[in-house]
């Protein structure tokens, strides 16, 4: 029923039009509905204007202050879709926001793993605070006295954001600028501020890159990553991602759904239709992926005329590899690599030395899904996959991990020439989608599902494949005694079988003993 109330709030249904059964849940109280509207709006970071919360709260500034405070307490991602209100109205840039997030964790002496995955990735991008840096900060904070501890902790954190990669097609927006902020600026910097005041946002690539970078690091401008419904993006092997925990908030859930579903053949509008999600929300998710460097827009808006200073601009994320993975083979002479994305590999490059010249290519809807489970993902990310792959001393679990990875490599080298393009999909990620969305995704993009072996019971490859033709190992239930009993029952034939429930006592007859 809570989901139905949430949907009513999203659709801006007033109390008078609310269904009777929902009114009963809310104890026939309009005030209870108003409280629910406020909590839902803050929790889901809804824009004040144009949403139902405007009818129950009149002070827009206080609403956004409560939204930011709640988001920091819950360690959520910065609400980039509200940057025009948060930066211009409250003067809270993403950098300032994440300073507060990290300071809060340090004050509470929480583990770094407390920070959700995407929040940690954005903190690393803007602050340069990863796991090791965080541990050093916590150690320094423990030596601080109780008096003025909060301010002292913030003094340990970076003063300005890192020099982040920017793209020429991003938009430069004016932030919250005071008269005192303008005084120390150079003439070029003042000119750009005046330009933004007079003419509004500008395409980054048409401006002097060095001036943009300086004003950004001063917090006087912010960057918008515009995504349209027609845009398509590619998702390269994942780097720069932080594996901590899943928070489960609305936007993070959407991010994972989009990440599982997106590919370079599907537009944002088509993806929104497949997932049955508002197009605006999918735009926000894809925009964040491009901002973090996890995705690349295939046809960004043209930039003309492009300022010559962008020739030397930092436009690429130099993420540290997620994990250095050794060659996936028992032969130490082979030097090929295979990178694995923790969720999904898109259009895996061929590792075959001899590519078949007549290998067919397929359009969207004609791809092949190779299903695997989280166990295999864990094998590929284990530190036991060290460079000593040919070492005869590797045994036990470590050798099992290596064998699993090597078998996957052989399978992909064998399948790809005739079944390209292949997408490597994790079953658990598919199960994160609701059944209708999973069915729409698979039938829209794939013609066949092939699953690896062995698969854990939780993978449920058959369910993950849905209605697609599925080639792969039998489900774990097939090898259980219950399956044999079921087959004996259907066939009406089988060896003598006796099923005794736990605690039941019986005496075998002479006839039964003789049959044995």
**Are both 301 and 384 inside the same structural domain?**
no
**Are both 147 and 18 inside the same structural domain?**
yes
Q: What is the DSSP letter of 372?
A: E
**Are both 416 and 485 inside the same structural domain?**
yes
| Tens digits of residue pLDDT in 135-189 | 999 999 988 877 788 889 999 999 999 999 999 999 999 999 999 999 999 999 9
Q: Which of 139, 158, 177 is the last residue of a domain?
A: 158
User: 470 — phi, psi (to 5°)?
Assistant: -125, 125
Q: Which of 285, 312, 339 is the last residue of a domain?
A: 312
**Are both 29 and 94 inside the same structural domain?**
yes
* Total domains present in the chain: 3
Residue with tokens 């489900």: 475
Sign, CA torsion 90/112/246/119:
positive
Q: What is the DSSP letter of 369?
A: E
Residue scoring higher pLDDT (486 or 322): 486
**Are both 265 and 286 inside the same structural domain?**
yes
**Are both 282 and 417 inside the same structural domain?**
no
Asked whether 368 and 421 are in contact (CB, 8 A), the reply is yes
Alpha-carbon distances of 379 from 127, 320, 330, 372, 427, rounded to whole Å: 31, 20, 15, 12, 15
Q: Which domain holds residue 131?
A: 2-158
Strand duo 344-345 + 233-234: pairing: unpaired
| Tens digits of residue pLDDT in 39-69 | 999 999 999 999 999 999 999 999 999 999 9
| Tens digits of residue pLDDT in 338-384 | 333 333 333 333 333 333 333 344 444 578 888 888 776 665 555 44
Q: What pLDDT sits at residue 385?
A: 44
**Are both 333 and 478 inside the same structural domain?**
yes
Domain membership flag for residue 67: yes
Residue 407's nearest CA partner among 479, 476, 338 is: 338
The CA distance from 262 to 252, in Å, is 15
| Tens digits of residue pLDDT in 423-436 | 888 888 888 888 88
Q: What is the DSSP letter of 116?
A: B
Domain membership flag for residue 266: yes
Share of the chain above pLDDT 70, in %: 82
**Which contiguous run of DSSP H or E holds residue 224?**
strand 221-224
Q: What pLDDT sits at residue 514?
A: 59
The CA distance from 168 to 154, in Å, is 33
User: What is the gyration radius of the CA atoms in the chain, in angstroms?
Assistant: 28
Q: What region does 219 belong to: left with phi over 0, alpha with psi -120 to 50, or beta?
A: left
Q: What pLDDT sits at residue 335?
A: 36
Across 3-17, 117-131, 424-438, least confident range: 424-438
Strand duo 422-426 + 233-234: pairing: unpaired
Sign, CA torsion 255/258/259/263:
negative
Domain membership flag for residue 209: no
Domain membership flag for residue 318: no
For residue 446, pLDDT over 90 is answered with no
∠ CA 74-1-55, rounded to 5°? 65
**Are both 69 and 92 inside the same structural domain?**
yes
Strand partners, 224: 171
Task: Taking residues 315-323, report their average pLDDT.
Answer: 59
The CA distance from 288 to 121, in Å, is 11
CA 514 from centre of chain = 63
**Which contiguous run of DSSP H or E holds residue 470?**
strand 470-471
For residue 114, pLDDT over 60 is answered with yes
**Per-residue tokens: 491:** 């066939």
| Tens digits of residue pLDDT in 195-243 | 999 999 999 999 999 999 999 999 999 999 999 999 999 887 666 677 7
Query: For all residues of the chain together, what is the average pLDDT?
Result: 82
Q: How does residue 333 score in pLDDT terms, banded at 50, 70 and 90? A: very low
Q: What pLDDT sits at residue 167?
A: 95
The CA distance from 216 to 219, in Å, is 5
Across 234-243, 303-312, 386-395, least confident range: 386-395
Q: What pLDDT sits at residue 424?
A: 81
The CA distance from 8 to 18, in Å, is 8
Q: What pLDDT sits at residue 249?
A: 82
Q: Which of 158, 178, 193 is the last residue of a domain?
A: 158
- Sequential DSSP letters for 416-454: HHHH-SEEEEEHHHHHTS-HHHHHHHHHHHEEEEEE-SS
| Tens digits of residue pLDDT in 458-516 | 778 888 888 888 888 777 777 788 888 888 888 888 888 777 778 777 665 655 555 55
Q: What pLDDT sits at residue 340?
A: 33
For residue 310, pLDDT over 90 is answered with yes
Q: How does residue 323 score in pLDDT terms, banded at 50, 70 and 90? A: very low
**Are both 294 and 339 inside the same structural domain?**
no
Alpha-carbon distances of 377 from 55, 80, 235, 327, 349, rounded to whole Å: 48, 31, 18, 16, 18
Domain membership flag for residue 164: no
């Amino acid at each position: 029923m809570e989901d139905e109330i949430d949907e009513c709030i999203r659709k801006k249904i007033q109390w008078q039009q609310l269904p009777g059964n929902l009114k009963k849940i809310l104890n026939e109280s309009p005030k209870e509905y108003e409280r629910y509207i406020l909590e839902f709006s803050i929790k889901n970071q809804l824009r004040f204007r144009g949403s139902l919360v405007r009818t129950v709260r009149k002070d827009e500034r206080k609403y956004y202050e409560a939204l930011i405070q709640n988001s920091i307490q819950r360690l959520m991602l910065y609400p980039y879709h509200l940057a025009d209100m948060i930066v211009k109205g409250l003067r809270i840039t993403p950098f300032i926001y994440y300073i507060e997030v990290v300071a809060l964790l340090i004050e509470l002496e929480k583990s770094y793993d407390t920070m959700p995955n995407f929040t940690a990735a954005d903190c690393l991008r803007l602050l340069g605070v990863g796991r090791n840096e965080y541990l050093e900060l916590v150690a320094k904070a423990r030596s601080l006295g109780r008096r003025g501890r909060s301010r002292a902790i913030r003094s340990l954190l970076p003063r300005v954001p890192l020099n982040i990669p920017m793209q020429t097609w991003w938009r430069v927006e004016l932030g919250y600028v005071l008269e005192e902020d303008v005084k120390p600026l150079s003439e070029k910097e003042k000119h750009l501020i005046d330009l933004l005041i007079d003419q509004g946002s500008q395409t980054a690539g048409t401006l002097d890159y060095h001036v943009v970078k300086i004003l950004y690091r001063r917090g006087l401008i912010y960057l918008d990553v515009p995504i349209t419904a027609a845009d398509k993006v590619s998702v390269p092997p994942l780097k720069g991602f932080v594996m901590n925990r899943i928070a489960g908030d609305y936007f993070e859930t959407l991010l994972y759904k989009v990440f599982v579903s997106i590919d370079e053949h599907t537009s944002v509008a088509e993806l929104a239709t497949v997932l049955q999600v508002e197009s605006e929300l999918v735009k926000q998710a894809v925009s964040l992926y491009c901002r973090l460097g996890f995705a690349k827009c295939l046809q960004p808006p043209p930039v003309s005329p492009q300022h010559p200073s962008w020739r030397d601009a930092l436009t690429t994320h130099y993420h540290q590899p997620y994990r250095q993975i050794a060659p996936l083979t028992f032969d130490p002479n082979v030097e090929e690599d295979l990178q694995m994305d923790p969720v999904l590999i898109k259009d895996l490059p061929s590792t075959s030395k001899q590519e078949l010249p007549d290998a067919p290519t397929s359009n969207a809807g004609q791809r092949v899904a190779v299903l695997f489970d989280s166990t295999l993902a864990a094998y590929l990310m284990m530190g036991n996959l060290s460079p000593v792959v040919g070492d005869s001393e590797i045994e036990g679990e470590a050798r099992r991990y290596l064998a699993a990875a090597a078998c996957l490599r052989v399978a992909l080298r064998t399948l790809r020439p005739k079944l390209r393009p292949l997408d490597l999909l994790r079953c658990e990620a598919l199960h994160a989608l609701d059944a209708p969305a999973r069915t729409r995704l698979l039938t829209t993009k794939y013609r066949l599902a092939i699953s690896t072996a062995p698969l854990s019971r939780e993978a449920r490859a058959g369910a993950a494949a849905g209605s697609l033709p599925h080639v792969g190992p039998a489900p774990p239930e097939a090898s259980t005694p219950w399956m044999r009993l079921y087959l004996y029952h259907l066939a009406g034939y089988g060896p003598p079988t006796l099923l005794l429930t736990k605690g039941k006592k019986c005496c075998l007859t002479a006839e039964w003993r003789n049959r044995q």
